[in-house]
Amino acid sequence: MTRTDLTVGAVLLAAGRSERFGRANKLLADYEGEPIVRRAARTLLDASLEDHITVVGHEAAAVRDALPDSFDIRYNDWYEDGQHTSVKEGVIAAHKRSWDAVVFALGDMPVVAPETVECLRDTFESGRESIVVPAYDGKRGNPVLFGAAHFDTLADVAGDQGGRRLIVTHPDAIQIAVDDPGVRHDVDRPGDLP
């Protein structure tokens, strides 16, 4: 079965406090000449997605200024309560825009290949699976695509587990192997920078 005329958007989660990174906001740290969050955003822009949203919170103005102009910015008033609050903001936006699926990407993952995002979309469009997860070297990574059937459940998730429970337990979840180590590379501490 092939699904056509679908709208797949991206939500970049960029509201966190970067507590493990130290005093600086890791999203604004330099990664090969540009802020980490800008590199993560560029991946989504270079992939074939119809719409792009970033959810900001901590140091919102500085993060917003580091992003490409083509991103719609959503502010999460509750970002200190955890990542699930940013996921909820993204789901609300996806509902309002009538997206068929959303790719949730993390603002601290600067080296995901655009082709990986396109692979998630292509897998969703060409199959019955409603959750598509990339894996590198047999290990699950990010970003993750969720079909609209999961939006309400994602909006109700609590804690920083995000959609992990859905990924692990839902029968319509599929893990696809990708040749992209970027799906496993996030920046948590200064030592993670090149």
State residue 70's pLDDT score: 87
**What architecture does CATH give domain 8-18+25-192?**
Alpha-Beta Complex (3.90)
The residues of the chain scoring below 50 in pLDDT are 1
pTM to 2 decimal places: 0.93
Residue 152 Cα distances to 47, 91, 126, 130, angstroms: 26, 8, 23, 14
State residue 3's pLDDT score: 67
| DSSP annotation of 57 | B
pLDDT in tens, 4-47: 689 999 999 999 887 777 778 999 999 999 999 999 999 999 99
Q: Which residue in the block uniquely carries the two structure tokens 């993204």?
A: 90
Q: Rg of the chain over CA atoms, in angstroms?
A: 15
